[in-house]
Amino acid sequence: MKKLGYIFLLLIGVLGAQAQEDIMRKYAADIDQAEMKEILTILSSDALEGRETGERGQKMAAAFIADYFQRLGLQPVVPTEKGMSYYQKFELENSNPGSTYLKVKDASFKNGKEVLYYGSADLSAPISGSSIFVGAGSDEDFASIKSEGKIVVIDGSASFFQQWRELINKGYENGASLVVIIGKDTDEAFGNIVSQYGGYFMESRLGFKKEDPKNKGAFLVGPSTAATLLGSTQEKMNKAVADKKLSKIKGGSVEYRTSRNVEMVGTENVLGFLEGTDKKDEIVIITAHYDHIGKNGEEVNNGADDDGSGTTAVLKMAKAFVKAKADGHGPRRSILFMTVTGEEKGLLGSEYYTKNPIFPLEQTVVDLNIDMVGRTDEAHEDNREFVYLVGSDKLSSELHELSEKANDTFTKLSIDYTYNDENHPDRIYYRSDHWNFAKNNIPVIFYFNGTHDDYHKPTDTVDKIEFDLLQKRAQLVFYTAWVISNRDERLVVDKPTSESVGNH
Ligand SMILES: [Zn+2]
């Protein structure tokens, strides 16, 4: 009797699993290529102007996504003064260096021209002070002169790119009012640095509002500029270093200013929520970034693969889960479908969400993040039914096993873990939105097709998308999300990161 009962239960179990698989297959089939193509054609159209964060095209894409969520009947969950919204709005600063220079009596040195300013201090008025030379800035050097309150000139030319940040800190630790670093040992070499990197130092940058910086950063200068700032000559400076008599260089009066031009820019993540049943307080998050890099002049960077493809996958998965729920097969855990903004500017949308979560991060079970899943990279030209997976085994062994099993059972893609290596030079684990979740010890899987010649170019267009692959990869994410949201136990985080990773 006992034995019979066991076999009976086993049989029911097998049949139950089979029935469950059939149900999953049925809804995964709703992630169809035809509608994917319609959605992606809109998202990557010229009309959306490359969906640059804070620009008109990004807002149009947001409106399209919010409208799609609304038509599905997903819940808006972001509280606002006017009730619940699909938009999680926030402000960014768009800033570039304003009037920033060093001046002595007869000469002035402008940022981006003769000198480079590295920092984000915003001084409302110029400041004057006296300069002092501390050689290469060793402890001995600092001990031999009085640097307190001074504009400290340090010779960092011996190891410019390795140590300049260290030297900046050292200057301020020794009481400097401002740090100036000699970047190269000849004016010509320093001039090359300016022409190579000057544009990068001067360009506008989008980011979160900057707090008052702890120090004023540093001016990077060539050797003859340094001599002028010190009222000396290179020969005398070299001699002072050789004789270990830095105090021979008396220094002089220098005026400086650093300032930034700041403009506030509004942007938004778009969130749609599907409530679960008996485990609804636990949240499964599926993300893709819907922003891209805008235009080059009049040429639109359409961003069909990056990341119109992932955004399309999120919308189609939402639709499939909604349909399953309507038929009585809704997920036990809740699912938050979130398309994020600002990824191309430094993972800003996902950073904002994880710092201002709508649902507690402790209750967030997983983030499945999709960024570029509609193409094939060079390495897989002969094996196109593949996908790169990154991160699946980093925090939760269970997640990795379950993801593998979902693929073995349903999609049978060839899974490539090349980029899963944290030390891979491309550092993919840190380069898309899942990272902001992973650093909060939330298990993640990142789905990715690798890069290609059209990456971040106007040629990343919808006609190059391989919709059969986009469909299969989206279905893999769907099956994985289904399993995670319906299993009895929450995913176990058996490998939490010990160190607090904090902000980047
Ligand atoms: Zn991307």
Q: Are residues 291 and 437 in the same domain?
A: yes
The answer as to whether 146 is a domain residue is: yes
Q: Is 85:78 a contact under the CB 8 Å cutoff?
A: yes
Instruction: Please give the tally of structural domains in the chain.
Output: 2
- The string of pLDDT tens digits covering residues 82-121 is 999 999 999 999 999 999 999 999 899 999 999 999 998 9
The packing angle between helices 56-72 and 33-43, to 10°, is: 150
- The string of pLDDT tens digits covering residues 16-73 is 888 999 999 999 999 999 999 999 999 999 999 999 999 999 999 999 999 999 999 9
Cα-to-centroid distance, 463 and ligand 1 (Å): 18
Cα-to-centroid distance, 307 and ligand 1 (Å): 5
Q: Are residues 412 and 292 in the same domain?
A: yes
Whether omega for the bond prior to residue 30 falls within 30 degrees of 0, making it cis, is no
Cα-to-centroid distance, 319 and ligand 1 (Å): 23
Cα-to-centroid distance, 421 and ligand 1 (Å): 19
Cα-to-centroid distance, 378 and ligand 1 (Å): 18
Q: Is 155:132 a contact under the CB 8 Å cutoff?
A: no
Among 214-218, 221-225, 406-410, the least confident range:
214-218
Q: Are residues 152 and 283 in the same domain?
A: no
| Amino acid letter, 368 | L
Q: Are residues 318 and 444 in the same domain?
A: yes
Tell me what pLDDT residue 383 has.
95
Cα-to-centroid distance, 380 and ligand 1 (Å): 19
Whole-angstrom distance, CA of residue 57 vs CA of residue 43:
9
The answer as to whether 334 is a domain residue is: yes
Between the alpha carbon of residue 103 and those of residues 43, 120, 176, 222, 328, the distances in Å are 50, 19, 18, 14, 73
Q: Are residues 113 and 252 in the same domain?
A: yes
Tell me what pLDDT residue 1 has.
47
The answer as to whether 9 is a domain residue is: no
Kindly indicate the confidence band of residue 3, based on its pLDDT and cuts at 50, 70 and 90: low
Domain that holds residue 361: 26-90+266-486
Q: Are residues 169 and 294 in the same domain?
A: no
Q: Are residues 280 and 419 in the same domain?
A: yes
- Non-local (6+) Cβ contacts of 252 within 8 A are 104, 105, 130, 131, 229, 230, 231
Tell me what pLDDT residue 480 has.
98
DSSP state for residue 158 in the 8-state scheme: G
Tell me what pLDDT residue 12 has.
62
Cα-to-centroid distance, 5 and ligand 1 (Å): 53
Tell me what pLDDT residue 9 has.
59
Whether residue 291 has pLDDT greater than 60: yes
Mean pLDDT within 428-433: 93
Kindly indicate the confidence band of residue 265, based on its pLDDT and cuts at 50, 70 and 90: very high
The answer as to whether 293 is a domain residue is: yes
The answer as to whether 491 is a domain residue is: no
The answer as to whether 158 is a domain residue is: yes
The answer as to whether 19 is a domain residue is: no
Rg for the chain, CA atoms, rounded: 28
The answer as to whether 445 is a domain residue is: yes
Cα-to-centroid distance, 273 and ligand 1 (Å): 23
Whether residue 473 has pLDDT greater than 50: yes
Kindly indicate the confidence band of residue 503, based on its pLDDT and cuts at 50, 70 and 90: very low
Q: What is the DSSP pairing of strand 127-133 with strand 253-257? A: antiparallel
Last residue of a domain, one of 207, 225, 258: 258
The single residue listed with the structure tokens 């640095």 is 193
Q: Are residues 83 and 227 in the same domain?
A: no
Tell me what pLDDT residue 17 has.
83
What is the DSSP track for 412-458? Answer: -PEEE-GGG-TTSTT-GGGSSTHHHHHTTT--EEEEE----TTTTST
Q: Are residues 343 and 370 in the same domain?
A: yes
- The string of pLDDT tens digits covering residues 23-36 is 999 999 999 999 99
Here the CATH number for the domain that contains residue 467 is 3.40.630.10
Cα-to-centroid distance, 294 and ligand 1 (Å): 13
Q: Are residues 377 and 405 in the same domain?
A: yes
Cα-to-centroid distance, 468 and ligand 1 (Å): 20
**Token duo for residue 51:** 């969906």
| Amino acid letter, 112 | G
Last residue of a domain, one of 229, 258, 287: 258
Whole-angstrom distance, CA of residue 23 vs CA of residue 111:
63
Last residue of a domain, one of 224, 258, 292: 258
**Token duo for residue 348:** 């800003």
Tell me what pLDDT residue 10 has.
59
The structure's pTM equals: 0.86
Mean pLDDT over the full length of the chain: 94
DSSP state for residue 305 in the 8-state scheme: I
Q: Are residues 79 and 110 in the same domain?
A: no
Cα-to-centroid distance, 134 and ligand 1 (Å): 45
Mean pLDDT within 119-127: 91
Here the CATH number for the domain that contains residue 106 is 3.50.30.30
Q: Are residues 310 and 329 in the same domain?
A: yes
How far from the centroid of its chain's Cα atoms is residue 8's Cα? 52
Q: Greatest CA separation found in the chain?
A: 104
Cα-to-centroid distance, 225 and ligand 1 (Å): 42
CA atoms within 13 A on the CB side of 392: 27
